[in-house]
């Protein structure tokens, strides 16, 4: 219990800096997350760092063989030969982690080179001590690696976490920013919405708004999607004379779920990376859960529209006449639907297609050359770069954009994306130093036989952070930093995509006045703050709960444990 109290205190201190810095001091999310990362790194004791680094390098002790030897497995076991010596690390009375004994490799278990290794303790070490988790088994090379890591400064550890996260998501977010900008400037996003409205007609307009919002919410940030679609919602209200609340809510319910569940938007992208979830798997699973939530949002919006009425008002930044003019752009100036939707579908098809091919559907086997091509095109960075190139070509072709105008558009997109990369990378650094405190070992004490408890805990942690400081993305980043150790230890008991989805759903409750999206919706739609709390807050909260219910059903019936 002595080691538990400091870890919890450090965790709370970090969360207080993030939430308090954003909520009370009005700090930028990047600054709040960075300060929290430095604070946590400074407070983490040396013994906790030693245990964390040794755990990352350790071999797993699975069981005792019939002859009394131990069975070892893990990534670090590759290349070990009979006769090789392993160090056994334990915590001394002084609190430090030091070698307390050795093991000697005897050979492969059951003569299977791909299986676990057999090793026998030397000296007075008892097999049951090694299986209890109180002792760790590492190679001598790993011991040297840990010694080197322990020499890192506080700044070095924070910078390493920042850099590792930027390496994972930097290109993806930059390309997503370019795609979103090109969709808006070329009129492609407008074409997608208009086509959906034409397909479904006025009675199907709510479904068209919901589905268009969800589709556009994948590559375009929620605020931008709402800015784009609300003029069309107002134009529909002006033509029909009714159902304005329905149009507003259906735009929100589609875009907000994609924002939290489907990469390459920053929140679900980082969560998937931190939990080791394949990006194609996250896109498919996030789309399934998100559509369940959006469908509930559509039902909620329809019911609310029958009970209440939202009048059409001027918005602070643009009059109704200007908004109507924007929504009535001549269709001849817009790209075709097939061209407009290509930048969105291309990365989804490439990434998800490669994920499916890896499962060898219908016994399909590719040649080595075809596998290399599929792996290259299915790489998330390559897929997003190709999509961005297609979007740029579409913009140039559609608008006859000059090189100067194109450079300005790309610069604006990268400027916006750069801020998101900084925030997300700072969140990655915060998560990295949180894991070094040993917080994962606290959460790992939850019963492994209860996936429902673990997913519900992930939902509640994310919800608490979201409600306190407002940003769904920051809430997801903070929560995954606390919870990622559950997936990283390899003993989760179910596929980590469910944990990622629970975090995403937990970022929906509770939207209120400290959420920038709340103000975008109310100001652009003409709602008062009271109307926003009456209409938006309950809907997004209920959608998050519906998403959690879908996740709990999925993890119970189809855990997909590795």
3-state secondary structure 410-429: HHHHHHHHHHHHHHHHHHHH
Quote the pTM value: 0.73
More confident residue, 31 or 523: 31
Burial 501-518 (b: 16+ CB within 10 A, else e): bbbbbbbbbbbbebbebb
Residue 65 has pLDDT above 70, yes or no: no
* Model pLDDT for residues 39-48, shown as the tens digit of each residue: 999 999 988 8
Q: Supply φ then ψ for residue 90, to 5 degrees.
A: -140, 165
Which element (helix H / strand E) includes 98? strand 97-108
Count the neighbouring beta carbons within 10 Å of the beta carbon of residue 265.
Answer: 28
Quote the pLDDT of residue 317: 45
User: Taking all residues of the chain, what is their mean pLDDT, rounded to a whole number?
Assistant: 82
Closest CA to 429 of 149, 158, 52: 158
The residue assigned the tokens 């976490």 is 161
Assess contact for 252 and 538: CB atoms under 8 A.
no
Q: Taking the CA of residue 346 as centre, how many other CA atoms within 13 Å lie in the half-sphere pointing to its CB?
A: 21
Residue 319 has pLDDT above 60, yes or no: no
In this prediction, residue 198 has a pLDDT band, given cuts at 50, 70 and 90, of: confident
Q: Supply φ then ψ for residue 510, to 5 degrees.
A: -120, 120
Residue 71 has pLDDT above 50, yes or no: yes
In this prediction, residue 446 has a pLDDT band, given cuts at 50, 70 and 90, of: low
Q: Supply φ then ψ for residue 121, to 5 degrees.
A: -65, 145
Residue 335 has pLDDT above 90, yes or no: no
Integer Cα distance of 335 and 379 in angstroms: 28
Closest CA to 489 of 60, 1, 45: 60
Quote the pLDDT of residue 185: 78
Integer Cα distance of 517 and 523 in angstroms: 10
* Model pLDDT for residues 138-168, shown as the tens digit of each residue: 888 888 888 888 899 999 999 998 998 888 8
Integer Cα distance of 187 and 416 in angstroms: 19
Integer Cα distance of 99 and 81 in angstroms: 21
Over residues 472-478, the mean pLDDT reads: 84
Quote the pLDDT of residue 321: 62
Residue 110 Cα to chain centre, angstroms:
41
User: Where along the chain do its domains lie?
Assistant: 58-149, 162-418
In this prediction, residue 343 has a pLDDT band, given cuts at 50, 70 and 90, of: confident
Closest CA to 472 of 432, 503, 430: 503
Quote the pLDDT of residue 42: 93
Q: Name the DSSP class of 116.
A: P
Integer Cα distance of 410 and 416 in angstroms: 10
Quote the pLDDT of residue 252: 93
Residue 441 has pLDDT above 70, yes or no: no
In this prediction, residue 62 has a pLDDT band, given cuts at 50, 70 and 90, of: low
Quote the pLDDT of residue 200: 81
In this prediction, residue 127 has a pLDDT band, given cuts at 50, 70 and 90, of: low
With H, G, I as helix, E, B as strand and everything else as coil, classify residue 82.
coil
Specify the range with the lowest mean pLDDT, choosing from 142-151, 225-234, 432-441, 528-537. Answer: 225-234
* Model pLDDT for residues 228-258, shown as the tens digit of each residue: 677 677 767 776 778 899 999 999 999 899 9
The residue assigned the tokens 């209890």 is 132
Helix 380-399 to helix 188-200 angle, to the nearest 10 degrees? 90
Assess contact for 438 and 53: CB atoms under 8 A.
no
Residue 1 has pLDDT above 50, yes or no: no
In this prediction, residue 459 has a pLDDT band, given cuts at 50, 70 and 90, of: very high
Closest CA to 283 of 345, 211, 226: 345
Quote the pLDDT of residue 2: 46
* Strand order from edge to edge, sheet including 85-91: 60-64, 70-73, 117-122, 97-108, 85-91, 136-138
* Model pLDDT for residues 503-516, shown as the tens digit of each residue: 999 999 888 776 76
Over residues 65-82, the mean pLDDT reads: 71
């Amino acid at each position: 219990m002595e080691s538990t109290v400091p870890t919890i205190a450090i965790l709370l201190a970090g969360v207080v800096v993030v939430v308090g810095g954003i909520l009370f001091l009005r700090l930028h999310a990047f600054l709040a997350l960075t300060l929290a990362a430095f604070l946590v790194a400074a407070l983490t004791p040396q013994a906790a760092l030693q245990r964390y680094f040794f755990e990352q390098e350790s071999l797993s002790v699975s069981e005792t063989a019939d002859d009394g030897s131990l069975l070892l497995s893990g990534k670090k076991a590759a290349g070990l030969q009979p006769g090789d010596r392993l160090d056994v690390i334990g915590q001394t009375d002084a609190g430090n982690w030091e070698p307390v004994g050795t093991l000697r490799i005897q050979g492969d278990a059951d003569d299977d080179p791909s299986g676990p290794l057999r090793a026998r303790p030397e000296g007075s070490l008892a097999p049951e001590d090694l299986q209890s988790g109180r002792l760790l088994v590492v190679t001598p090379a790993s011991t040297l690696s840990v010694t080197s890591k322990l020499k890192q400064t506080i700044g070095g550890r924070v910078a390493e976490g920042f850099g590792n996260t930027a390496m994972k998501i930097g290109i993806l977010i930059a390309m997503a920013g370019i795609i979103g900008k090109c969709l808006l400037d070329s009129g492609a996003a407008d074409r997608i919405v208009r086509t959906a409205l034409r397909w479904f007609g006025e009675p199907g307009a709510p479904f068209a708004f919901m589905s268009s919002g969800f589709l556009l919410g994948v590559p375009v940030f929620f605020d931008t999607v709402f800015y784009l679609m609300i003029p069309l919602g107002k134009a529909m209200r002006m033509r029909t004379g009714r159902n304005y609340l329905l149009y507003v809510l259906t735009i929100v319910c589609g875009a907000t779920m994609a924002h939290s569940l489907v990469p390459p938007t920053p929140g679900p992208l980082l969560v998937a990376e931190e939990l080791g979830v394949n990006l194609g798997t996250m896109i498919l699973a996030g789309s399934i859960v998100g559509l369940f939530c959006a469908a509930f949002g559509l039902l909620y919006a329809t019911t609310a529209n029958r009970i209440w009425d939202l009048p059409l008002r001027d918005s602070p930044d643009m009059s109704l006449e200007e908004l109507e003019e924007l929504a009535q752009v001549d269709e001849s100036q817009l790209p075709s639907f097939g061209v407009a939707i290509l930048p969105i579908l291309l990365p989804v098809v490439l990434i998800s297609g490669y994920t499916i091919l890896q499962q060898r559907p219908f016994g399909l086997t590719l040649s080595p050359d075809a596998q290399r091509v599929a792996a290259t095109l299915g790489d998330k960075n390559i897929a997003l770069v190709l999509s961005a190139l297609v979007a740029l070509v579409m913009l140039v072709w559609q608008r006859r954009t000059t090189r100067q105008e194109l450079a300005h558009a790309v610069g604006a997109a990268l400027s916006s994306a750069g801020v998101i990369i900084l925030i997300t990378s700072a969140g990655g650094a915060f998560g990295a130093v949180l894991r070094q405190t040993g917080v994962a070992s606290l959460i790992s004490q939850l019963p492994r036989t209860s996936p429902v408890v673990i997913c519900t805990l992930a939902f509640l942690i994310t919800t608490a952070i979201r409600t306190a400081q407002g940003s769904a993305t920051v809430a997801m980043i903070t929560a995954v930093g606390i919870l990622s150790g559950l997936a990283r230890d390899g003993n989760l008991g179910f596929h980590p995509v469910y944990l990622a989805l629970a975090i995403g759903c937990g970022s929906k409750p509770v939207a209120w006045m400290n959420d920038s999206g709340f103000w975008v919706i109310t100001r652009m739609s003409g709602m008062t703050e009271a109307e926003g709390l009456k209409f938006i807050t309950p809907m997004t909260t209920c959608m998050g709960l519906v998403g959690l219910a879908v996740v709990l059903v999925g993890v119970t019936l189809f855990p997909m444990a590795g």
